[in-house]
Structure 1
């Protein structure tokens, strides 16, 4: 069995990173993930959100390796996650469902505020990779470990891509709301002026219209 672990710091708060983790797929930087479905979701008495999802993937693996373990695309993985919004913690565990008699890959991701700077998020990532009952076990495990390490780096880039999109959505929404507010204010101002003009033209002693607060 090979064990791999790493840490990565995102220069974004925990809420933003946790939101990005939910929206990580589909993603042009992680094209191997071709589908994702929610299998189960619940909130317990402890206010922790628990979710099980099914991921559909397509991997580029050498033909000689696929022949050894009987691997075929598409493949599937199960992801289990827990989100504790109160403590600001998010944990995701995933494992492959195909070819488990020959290959077992289990990954754990944890997201929490950085202990030295709460405006940032610390991600810790661990993977256990095991190959059974085939020739060249050590070589196969090292090959899978190398693939996993490369994909982990792409995973961080994919998260940043999602975060940029989230921030752009907020900016677009803010711009839209400001524009709608300005238009509404102009409409109200125009209505108030019209009522004032009407009151003056009638000369009936009406009080000038009062502009409502927005």
Structure 2
């Protein structure tokens, strides 16, 4: 069983779907994406009237001091697959990291779709897992916090690109982002069981890390004491 944290955000861009799609392939670099180091198109083809693309990106993010024992600030390689459907007017992207997966694995799905008022809705879903024993929950909490922060940066940066590419948007030049509740669920064969609600701000994350660290040290202290008593 692997416990996964999930988070969903929705962003409304006041630009047409066509404008958003055209700008999507040129959204880097921008002032809000300094963590994106490189991007390369690996494969691109048209099948059944849809455009399939695969890209390789390199990103980096600073980690708190307690997390440096598990992960340094080396760039992380990310694979991005996308399907553009001009008939349905949808662009769906699927990204996942191919490095440091045991420490933190992030699967992200984003769907850009046209709205009735001419604007574009981006629904972003992230699924975060960690296999670090004793620190999985704290690492997932950090991942959720980082995901939400990056969502805001991504919306701001993308909107910057849109404004420069299309001075006259479909409606107005803003981007509104809302975040839905995030939760833990356990991956089984076919069922998803809701377990607990992950901390969603820095204070709660710090408290969680401290509590987990205390339990970790307490358990090991008890084991050492038992070994010592056996030897004596």
TM-score category by the smaller chain? 0.7 to 0.9
Which structure is higher in helix share?
Answer: 1
| Alignment correspondent of 2:230 | none
| Alignment correspondent of 1:34 | 37
Larger Rg: 1
Q: Which runs of 5+ in 2 are unaligned?
A: 170-232
Provide the C-alpha distance between the structure 2 equivalents of 1:85 and 1:52, rounded to a whole number of angstroms.
18
| Alignment correspondent of 1:143 | 142
Displacement after TM superposition at 1:138 (Å): 1.0
| Alignment correspondent of 1:56 | 58
Provide the C-alpha distance between the structure 1 equivalents of 2:21 and 2:68, rounded to a whole number of angstroms.
35
Q: For residues 22-41 of structure 1, what are the alpha-carbon distances to aligned partners after superposition, in whole Å with 9 as ceiling and x for unaligned? A: 11111211110011000111
| Alignment correspondent of 2:161 | 162
Provide the C-alpha distance between the structure 2 equivalents of 1:109 and 1:75, rounded to a whole number of angstroms.
20
| Alignment correspondent of 1:101 | 102
Displacement after TM superposition at 1:63 (Å): 3.7
Provide the C-alpha distance between the structure 1 equivalents of 2:103 and 2:153, rounded to a whole number of angstroms.
26
Displacement after TM superposition at 1:168 (Å): 4.4
Q: Which runs of 5+ in 1 are unaligned?
A: 171-214
Provide the C-alpha distance between the structure 1 equivalents of 2:167 and 2:74, rounded to a whole number of angstroms.
35
Provide the C-alpha distance between the structure 1 equivalents of 2:68 and 2:108, rounded to a whole number of angstroms.
21
| Alignment correspondent of 2:16 | 13
The answer on whether the counterparts of 2:93 and 2:109 sit within 8 Å (CA) in structure 1 is: yes
TM-score by length of 1: 0.73
Displacement after TM superposition at 1:72 (Å): 4.3
TM-score by length of 2: 0.68
- Of structures 1 and 2, the one with the larger relative CO (CA 8 A, separation 6+) is 2
